[in-house]
Structure 1
Amino acid sequence: MQVLVSQEHDDEVGAQLLADVDGVEVVRYAPAAPELPAEHRSAGVLIPPYRGSHRPIPLLAQLPDLQLVQLLTAGADEWSGDVPADVLLATARGAVAGPVSEWVLSAILALYRQWPALVRYQDRGTWAHRKVDADTLAGKRVLIVGAGAIGMAVARRLPAFEAEATLVVRNARAGVHTADELPALLPEHDVVVILAPLTPETEGLVDDTFLAAMPDGALLVNAARGRIVDTDALVAELKAERLRAALDVTDPEPLPADHPLWTSPGVIISPHMSRTVPGTSALCYGVAAEQIRAVLGGSTPSNVVVERRTK
């Protein structure tokens, strides 16, 4: 089976990994090209690159034998409305649980221990002993909205800091809460971590009502999708200095240079790079190889997106 892998540098490791999968012929392609060469149009698998994932969407119409679109992201929102119903769509869910959960913990600790303020004092050459009000994560309650691989990884790491995790998912399962319990849960938690996928149900979930239910001084962490959070509502809470936030994603994204979120008090922002550490591409292609092996073996890949979002 021909598997289309981006010819860009980040995907070199993927081409090498997939070349070792029995039954796979790796074909390199240009993600932004308007057309595929005729000899590549019989491909059974298309792997969009992580960067600019949406670029190959126009190529779908040129792949009549396509069986699987294999993403390198944990979310499928950029593709779910475009992949034909008879073509499987799978994600790299689980691949980046380690790096992203590490980012979440680092962001929480950075704000609790006041590192942003301390670095600004350092830039001015000021010995800021007792000039900031640092806090500890120990004893805090952390509400994790989204109990997938990343959410579970965050929950496993919190006990090392003597913090307590509460998990929320859309569909009930043992040991977790459901989304309809959020109004009662929010006032009881010091930190709220957003790790849910972007769906019609989660878009705009963190609105003014959601934020108002969080207690004074609480911290919002978003490492999911920017559009899950109402940016204007968040900016209002930050400017009132009632809440704090750590954001790896924003709406809009990239964040314009003159956007008020940049200068709002109590916020740290990273440019959608919570997963960006050495070895990430190999982790994602490792999961992709598992999904492709399933297709070659005649079974359904474990990371198939069951519900498709329509645009």
Structure 2
Amino acid sequence: MSESPRSVVVSVPTDELAADIGAVPDGVELVVWDLRSPAPRDAFDMVVPPYMSGKRLLSALGGVKVGLLQSQSIGYEGMGAYLPEGTRLANASSVHETATAEIAVGLAIAAQRDLADYVRNQESSRWAPQFSRSVADRTVLVLGYGGVGKAVASRLLPFETTIVPVASRARDEDGVHIHGIDELDELLPSTDILMITLPGGEPTKGLIGARELALLPDGALVVNVGRGTVLDTDALVAELQSERLRAALDVVDPEPLPEDHPLWRAPGALVVPHVGGAADAMRPRIAKLVRTQIERLAAGEESINIVEG
């Protein structure tokens, strides 16, 4: 006789995600719980918290036995402090790379082609053409060559750019030479666009500071779609106020950016509120990831994307 399927209880935060996941294996109970009300069960094999809800909502897991917490974000810094004892944490690698790469390329194009100026001109019904920089023929240093970095690089190549990937260590991968972080000082002076895709955390905190920014050539563009803490905000503001560098930022430090922060009004700055992954491209991808985790749990197999526990 074949073994009966394991009994698995999984919570997801919305009816929409439950519908996107579709049919689940026999023995799996799918519960909708957004963590804003008391837990409907004492124990879950997997909990998927709401997207972009902040870490404090995870306090709802207190007193609940949770086998796996499946985040809907790639970044997971600081989440470990909210995990119930014995809970493992999985991130959403494979979910946001596509949407984040879109906004990275969009920010680069918007900054190079001065689109923010035209938006402001439209508000005052002002027709004012101007000659701008292009993305083509630029050297783009992609700092961080994981899933997001590779997705950004693959989308920028058709724009006739030169891509210089940089990661923690030098290596050759799929015919591409990846530079090590120890080469950064040598590479920055010839960089037209610095594209930051690194995750947060202590290893990358302040990696790009005043010294590194000073190595960039005049007029260079800094794009950050990784984490705001990678880039020294005060040092960047100083460069922007001198009008030597420009910046297009999906992530900043601190977040949210205070209303009176000088970065809002710095010359050459384009700021969007950490929405790189917040696009409908994530819907089928998060559903696919959660469905994969459910199937693995039901089959007694190891979960994927484990980052803690």
Query: So what's the TM-score if we normalise by structure 1?
Result: 0.88
Judged with a 3 Å threshold, the aligned counterparts in structure 2 of structure 1 residues 91 and 246 are, in CA distance, closer, same or farther, namely: same
The aligned runs of 1:260-275 (5 Å cut-off) are 260-275=262-277
> Which 5+ residue runs of structure 1 have no aligned equivalent?
none
> Which 5+ residue runs of structure 2 have no aligned equivalent?
1-7
Query: Is the Cα contact below 8 Å between 1:36 and 1:62 reproduced in 2?
Result: no
Question: Which position in structure 1 is the counterpart of 2:12?
Answer: 5
Shift of 1:188: 1.8
Judged with a 3 Å threshold, the aligned counterparts in structure 2 of structure 1 residues 300 and 147 are, in CA distance, closer, same or farther, namely: farther
Aligned with 1:99: secondary structure? helix
Aligned with 2:44: secondary structure? coil
Judged with a 3 Å threshold, the aligned counterparts in structure 2 of structure 1 residues 24 and 180 are, in CA distance, closer, same or farther, namely: farther
Query: Is the Cα contact below 8 Å between 1:92 and 1:287 reproduced in 2?
Result: yes
Question: Which position in structure 1 is the counterpart of 2:55?
Answer: 54
Shift of 1:158: 1.3
Question: Which position in structure 1 is the counterpart of 2:33?
Answer: 29
Question: Which position in structure 1 is the counterpart of 2:101?
Answer: 101
Shift of 1:171: 4.4
Partners of 1:161 and 1:197 in 2: CA distance: 25
Structure number having the greater strand percentage: 2
Question: Which position in structure 2 is the counterpart of 1:165?
Answer: 163
Question: Which position in structure 1 is the counterpart of 2:133?
Answer: 135
Shift of 1:278: 2.7
Q: How many matched pairs?
A: 297
The aligned runs of 1:216-295 (5 Å cut-off) are 216-295=218-297
Aligned partner letter, 1:3: V
Question: Which position in structure 2 is the counterpart of 1:72?
Answer: 72
Judged with a 3 Å threshold, the aligned counterparts in structure 2 of structure 1 residues 218 and 3 are, in CA distance, closer, same or farther, namely: same
In the TM superposition, what whole-angstrom CA distance separates every residue of 1:16-75 from its partner, at most 9, and x where no partner exists? 234522142111224234x424xx1121111111121413422333223x2211010111
Partners of 1:183 and 1:110 in 2: CA distance: 27
Percentage identity across paired residues of the two chains: 36
The aligned runs of 1:114-193 (5 Å cut-off) are 114-129=114-129, 132-174=130-172, 175-193=177-195
Query: Is the Cα contact below 8 Å between 2:75 and 2:199 reproduced in 1?
Result: yes
Query: So what's the TM-score if we normalise by structure 2?
Result: 0.89
Shift of 1:124: 2.9
Judged with a 3 Å threshold, the aligned counterparts in structure 2 of structure 1 residues 200 and 80 are, in CA distance, closer, same or farther, namely: same
Judged with a 3 Å threshold, the aligned counterparts in structure 2 of structure 1 residues 207 and 122 are, in CA distance, closer, same or farther, namely: same
Query: Is the Cα contact below 8 Å between 2:193 and 2:221 reproduced in 1?
Result: yes
Partners of 1:305 and 1:233 in 2: CA distance: 31
Aligned with 1:192: secondary structure? strand
Greater CA drift, 85-94 or 259-268: 85-94
In the TM superposition, what whole-angstrom CA distance separates every residue of 1:58-94 from its partner, at most 9, and x where no partner exists? 2333223x22110101111141343357432111112
Greater CA drift, 106-115 or 170-179: 170-179
Judged with a 3 Å threshold, the aligned counterparts in structure 2 of structure 1 residues 214 and 286 are, in CA distance, closer, same or farther, namely: same
Shift of 1:218: 0.7
Aligned with 2:222: secondary structure? strand
Partners of 1:185 and 1:76 in 2: CA distance: 29
Aligned with 1:277: secondary structure? coil
Partners of 2:169 and 2:297 in 1: CA distance: 27
Q: CA RMSD for the aligned pairs? A: 2.0
Query: Is the Cα contact below 8 Å between 2:55 and 2:82 reproduced in 1?
Result: no
